[in-house]
Amino acid sequence: MSSLALSLTPGKLGDLIKSFLVNKMNGYPVRKSVPIIFAERITDFLSLVFLAFVGAYIFNHDKILILVTGAFFIGIIFLISRKNLSLKILNGLEKINFLKKYVQNLIDAYINSFIMLRPVPLVKMFFLSLVSWLIECFGFYIILSNFSKEISIFLSTFIYTFSMILGSISMLPAGLGLTEGSLTVMIVEQGISKENAVAATLLIRLVTLWFSIAVGIIALAVYNRKFDKEIIINLNSGEENGKVQEN
């Protein structure tokens, strides 16, 4: 939850704080936990693309962009699943001087990614992510239904997921500007006034993006108060034990 405080980062790179917090708590190597975040982003996009493509097929709207985005992430999964090829590419990086010292870390990260993106865990993570996005889409539908009773949950799901994809691939912090703009434009296209479209857009971003940032800030504060104190106590206990053994 603490990583939500850094949602305003390009491509959600702020999620990497998870690895550093875990490392701080129990010493688990960052290079081994980063692939968890990588796998999360992959399944996040796959479920988002899936929902958007269903809507694009129903409403015959922007299929190419969604297909290209989906193909990109499926291509990444395919490359990771080819273990011998991937390891050959990574080992080949040793020939590049400034990358040589990072090769073993990259191999460790790849092995963990390979394990998590096998078919069974991939499908499990995909469905979990799918449920998560559907909840957000349903929230958007509830907001839109207050402005127009004619917009279906299928249409609101497509508008929301398509706008999220545009914002994500733009690499803007949390897709700011592009996501809101595409949401507003697509809502107006459904016959809702500009004023109401802007209101609906601001509301959904408030209860998803900005609310999550607030939750993240609170969680991070709790983490600092609870776990940092425990770490200091453990370190002090270690020092005392060391002195006892010396005596």
pLDDT (tens digit per residue) in 95-114: 777 777 888 888 888 888 88
For residue 228, the model assigns a pLDDT of: 65
Task: Give, in order, the Cα–Cα distances in Å from 4 to each of 21, 37, 93, 160, 211.
Answer: 13, 13, 34, 20, 9
Do the Cβ atoms of 24 and 227 come closer than 8 Å?
yes
Give the mean model confidence (pLDDT) for residues 140-167. Answer: 90
pTM here is 0.82
Token digits of residue 115: 């394990």
- Say how far apart CA 72 and CA 63 lie, in whole Å: 14
Q: Is the pLDDT of residue 235 over 50?
A: no
pLDDT (tens digit per residue) in 44-97: 889 999 999 998 888 888 788 888 888 888 888 888 888 888 888 888 887 777
Give the mean model confidence (pLDDT) for residues 30-34. Answer: 83
- Say how far apart CA 122 and CA 75 lie, in whole Å: 14
